[in-house]
Structure formats: structure tokens, C-alpha cells
Homo-oligomer: A and B are copies of this chain.
Amino acid sequence: MLSYKIDDDAELRLIEPRHAAELNALVTGNFEHIREWSGWLTERERPIERTQEWITQNLTRFANSESFTVGIWYKNALAGQIDFGNLNWRDRKMEIGYWLGASFQGQGLVTRSCRVLINHAFHELKLNRIYMHCAVENRKSRRIPEKLGFREEGILRETGWLHDHFVDEVIYGLLASEWPDESN
């Protein structure tokens, strides 16, 4: 019910346990697509109970101000997910991550959603830094932080295990001082 409208078709909502079946269907239907760059995705099918549990754990971290996860809904169908993780209040920074179903790509959904969330992070949560890891070879994903104005800060060597090999990741950073003031 609570949501953030991106445009007439797209909106962000918290993912709740009752969305588990919809989330499972999206992941299963996009298994190869998501798995290509996601080391955590190893099984095509997950029992719904495990997905509900994962959602509950996520919301519990939100309850403790440690992270939060929103779904992107497009024409009332779950299209993808954006995570704000590793919220560090002393250092006033957090990490952003995302994935999107294959059929929803090409419309800038993730970029526009990230813009909203970054706005929220800098203006509401008063964070100072947002960072992101992308596999060096994942050109498509890297375009998003680049379009959003993140700076490339380094390349972490062999920092992620992707199914059968280690990958290098670019780390991107964005500071509050670099973000245009558009607080509503």
C-alpha cells in the first residue's frame, strides 16, 4: 500500500512475506539472467517458506535500521529488487545493489529507482556516502552508477566468487556533496 511512484507505471514498495510467491516466480523465470552476475543464486527453485523467512529477516534488519530492500513493481507486477545494505551510522554510509527481470530492462527502471533511493539516503537519512560493487565485466550494470554520477574508486581483485571462478569488482562511490540538492 505504501509506495513511491516512479512514474505512471512503476513504483517502489517494501517486499513483505506475502510477496514470496511472486518473488520466487520472478527469480525462477529469470534464473539464467540473474545468475549470470549473482554468486548467491544457485538454485532455480526455492521453497516458499525459505523465501518468506528471507523476507522476514530482511524486514527485521529494516526494523533495526541496518538495511532495507524494496521491490520495483511495474504495471503491478514485481520486476526487480533494490537493496540498501550495510547501513553504517557512524560512518554515515551504505551500499546499494539491485537486479531486474530480463523483460523489464531497457526502460531505465533501475536508474530511476536508484535516484529516488539515493535522494532519500542523502536527504532523509543524512548519509554521506553510497557505494556499489560491480563485476568489472558486467558492463550493463556498470552503466547505472556511471549514469548516476558515482566515481570509480578502485578495482578489488578476486573479491567475489561467481559460481566457478573469482571476479574482480569495481567499487564506485558517491558523496552527498556530489549529489544535486533536490530534496522535496
* Chain A residues engaging chain B, CB cutoff 8 angstroms: 1-4, 12-14, 16-18, 39-40, 55-60, 62-65, 70, 90-93, 116-117, 120, 124-125, 128-129, 131, 151, 153-161, 166, 171, 173, 175
A158 and B59 within 8 A (CB): no
Task: Indicate whether A120 sits within 8 Å of B16 (C-beta atoms), given known contacts A159-B91, A175-B158.
Answer: no
- Which of A65, A120, A124, A131 has the largest count of B CB atoms less than 10 A from its CB? A65
Copy tally for this chain in the complex stands at: 6
Minimum CB–CB distance from A118 to chain B (whole Å) comes to: 11
Enumerate chain B residues within 8 angstroms of A166, measured Cβ to Cβ. Answer: 91, 128-129
A158 and B128 within 8 A (CB): yes
A-B contact pairs, 23 of them (CB 8 A): A1-B4, A1-B124, A3-B3, A3-B4, A14-B14, A16-B65, A17-B64, A18-B125, A40-B90, A58-B63, A59-B62, A60-B63, A63-B63, A93-B158, A93-B159, A131-B159, A153-B154, A153-B156, A154-B155, A157-B173, A158-B175, A159-B173, A171-B171
Enumerate chain B residues within 8 angstroms of A159, measured Cβ to Cβ. Answer: 91, 93, 129, 131, 173
B154 and A154 within 8 A (CB): yes
Other than A17-B65, A18-B125, A151-B157, give 10 A-B pairs with Cβ distance below 8 A. A2-B2, A2-B3, A17-B63, A56-B64, A59-B62, A128-B166, A129-B158, A154-B156, A154-B171, A159-B173
A57→B59 CA distance, assembly (Å): 12
A173 and B156 within 8 A (CB): yes
A128→B4 CA distance, assembly (Å): 27
Which residue of chain B has its CB nearest to the CB of A13?
A: B2
Minimum CB–CB distance from A171 to chain B (whole Å) comes to: 6
